[in-house]
């Protein structure tokens, strides 16, 4: 009879119930100890958390065979893994994924000052035994995930713009996966920061807010190009807190410019971030969170990874599509701008743009807006993606510039900021700047 496969026992690998590990010293003395984490690597490997230089550690370095007893958290069925130690990783995607999971486990069990991941010990799974017993019935299998994947795929395939692609992903999360809080972030051209392009479930959208690579769950998922999932409240990855304290701790930094607040929950109990990739490049991060514990399991992670793959491909294809502008539409009547001129100021020191007294945007999106406004003052209102791409002054990187994402960001910031400046799509790769009030442009040195 074939024994269970690792994929059959993934609920045992969620860190809900500690596992028990037996090893044997070179002199034949057995050792048995609790381990907080047995982490699913792939169908033939697990990683165990190496936290202390203890007897277990000494033993596996001398004799690589280990036997681990797992308990199913819902049914109380027992499984035994027969393992052979291969190697230890102390950085990289697997390590960071485990470290985040362990931080959640540690906080949940009051061990945050004790548990610290020193390494991810990778073991080959040589055999899995399902043990006799009287387990409780398994809860009904979670349905609908495949249908949700299909809906998401259909919506993405129908979409013709980045806006629609982002909406397709957020709608799938809310309509089919009961996700209440989600954020999509894109990587900026320099590849060091992520900026929010879409969100749902928050009092403010946070579009334009930024997170550094490696910062929090989102930044770590981006830096390591790996899913990061936490099932319990932990301070270890709470970047909103880090941001608050850094803002309180120093005078406003003129060079950095003003910040748009990060929209996320103050005390997330469950968090899951997956990288959005295409053709081997990181494009951004898809992130979901919840104020409750243990909301996102491995199935949610699988689903988000699948969605992120579709989204990444869609972003790349839409980007390529936007290269070929359609014929310019017939010149429309210029929208009439009337009333008091809006004061629009650009600060040369950091490229930030203010409308009236309020910060709007900086960076590439800011440079785009400034160009549009200056040309608008000369009488133009229709523009193409192509000309933006060719304009060196805007500072788009040569590769993977994600111009569409900058335009989505700019359009959404303008939408949120007031009714007087609008960017309207007029065709593939074309758009119009519409002003309902005149503007007065000032460059501030």
Chain residues that interact with another protein, rule: CB under 8 A:
20-24, 26, 28-34, 36, 51-52, 54-55, 63, 65-69, 71, 75-76, 78, 80, 82, 109-111, 114-115, 131-136
CA angle 125, 126, 127 (to 5 degrees): 100
CB of 72 to another protein, least distance (A): 9
**Closer CB to another protein, 31 or 153, in the complex:** 31
Please state the three-class secondary structure of the chain as a single string.
CCCCCHHHHHHHHCCCCCEEEEEECCCCCEEEEEECCEEEEECCEEEEEECCCCHHHHHHHHCCEEEEEEECCCCCCEEEEEEEEEEEECCCHHHHHHHHHHHHHHHHCCCCCCCCCCEEEEEEEEEEEECCCCCCCCCCCCCCHHHHHHHHHHHHHHCCCHHHHHHHHHHHHHHHCCCCEEEEEEECCCCCEEEEEEEECCCCCCCCCEEECCCHHHHHHHHHCCCEEECCCCHHHCHHHHHHHHHHHCCCCCCCCCCCCCCCCCCCCEEEEEEEEECCEEEEEEEEEECCCCCCCHHHHHHHHHHHHHHHHHHHHHHHHCCCCCCCCCCCCCCCCCCCCEEEEEECCCCEEEECCEEEECHHHHHHHHHHHHHHHCCCCEEEHHHHHHCHHHCCCCCCCCHHHHHHHHHHHHHHHCCCEEEEEEECCEEEEEECCCEEEEEEC
**Closer CB to another protein, 124 or 337, in the complex:** 124
CB of 133 to another protein, least distance (A): 6
CB of 64 to another protein, least distance (A): 10
**Closer CB to another protein, 135 or 261, in the complex:** 135
**Closer CB to another protein, 3 or 332, in the complex:** 3
CB 386 within 8 A of CB 395: no
CB of 132 to another protein, least distance (A): 4
CB of 94 to another protein, least distance (A): 22
CB of 265 to another protein, least distance (A): 23
**Closer CB to another protein, 133 or 329, in the complex:** 133
**Closer CB to another protein, 51 or 270, in the complex:** 51
CB of 11 to another protein, least distance (A): 14
CB of 134 to another protein, least distance (A): 4
**Closer CB to another protein, 33 or 434, in the complex:** 33
**Closer CB to another protein, 19 or 47, in the complex:** 19
What are the C-alpha distances in Å from 205 to residues 55, 357, 402? 51, 20, 20
**Closer CB to another protein, 130 or 439, in the complex:** 130
CB of 55 to another protein, least distance (A): 6
């Amino acid at each position: 009879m074939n024994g269970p496969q690792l994929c059959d026992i993934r609920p045992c690998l969620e860190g809900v119930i500690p596992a028990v590990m037996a090893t044997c010293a070179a002199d034949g003395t057995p050792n048995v100890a609790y381990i907080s984490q047995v982490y699913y690597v792939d169908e033939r490997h697990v990683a165990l958390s190496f936290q202390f230089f203890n007897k277990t550690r000494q033993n596996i370095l001398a004799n690589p065979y280990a036997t681990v007893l797992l308990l199913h958290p819902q049914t109380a069925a027992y499984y035994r893994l027969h393992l052979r130690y291969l190697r230890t990783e102390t950085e990289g995607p697997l390590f960071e994924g485990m470290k985040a999971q362990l931080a959640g486990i540690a906080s949940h069990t009051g061990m945050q000052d004790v548990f610290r991941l020193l390494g991810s010990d990778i073991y080959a799974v040589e055999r899995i035994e399902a043990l006799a017993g009287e387990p409780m019935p398994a809860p009904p299998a979670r349905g609908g995930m495949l249908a949700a994947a299909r809906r998401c795929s259909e919506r993405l395939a129908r979409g013709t713009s980045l806006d629609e692609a982002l909406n397709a992903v957020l709608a799938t999360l809310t309509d089919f996966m009961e996700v209440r809080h989600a954020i999509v972030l894109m990587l900026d051209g320099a590849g060091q920061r992520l900026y929010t392009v879409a969100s749902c479930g928050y009092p403010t959208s946070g579009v334009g807010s930024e997170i550094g690579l490696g910062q929090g769950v989102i930044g770590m998922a981006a830096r390591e190009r790996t899913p990061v999932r936490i099932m319990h409240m932990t301070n270890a990855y709470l970047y909103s807190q880090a941001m608050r304290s850094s803002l309180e701790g120093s005078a406003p930094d003129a060079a950095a410019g003003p910040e748009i607040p990060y929209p996320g929950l103050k005390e997330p109990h469950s968090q899951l971030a997956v990288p959005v990739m295409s053709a081997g490049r990181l494009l951004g991060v898809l992130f979901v969170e919840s104020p409750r514990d243990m909301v996102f399991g491995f199935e949610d992670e699988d689903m988000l990874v699948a969605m992120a793959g579709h989204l990444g491909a869609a972003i790349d294809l839409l980007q390529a599509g936007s290269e070929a502008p359609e014929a310019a539409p017939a010149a429309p009547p210029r929208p009439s701008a009337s009333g008091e001129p809006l004061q629009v100021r650009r600060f040369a020191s950091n490229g930030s743009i203010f409308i009236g007294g309020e910060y709007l945007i900086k960076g590439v999106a800011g440079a785009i807006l400034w160009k549009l406004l200056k040309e608008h003052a000369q009488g133009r209102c229709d523009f193409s993606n192509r000309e933006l791409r060719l304009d060196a002054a805007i500072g788009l990187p040569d590769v993977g510039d994600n111009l569409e994402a900058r335009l989505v960001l700019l359009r959404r910031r303008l939408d949120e900021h007031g009714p007087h400046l609008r960017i309207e799509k007029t065709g593939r790769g074309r758009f119009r700047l519409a002003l309902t009030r005149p503007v007065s442009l000032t460059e501030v040195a």
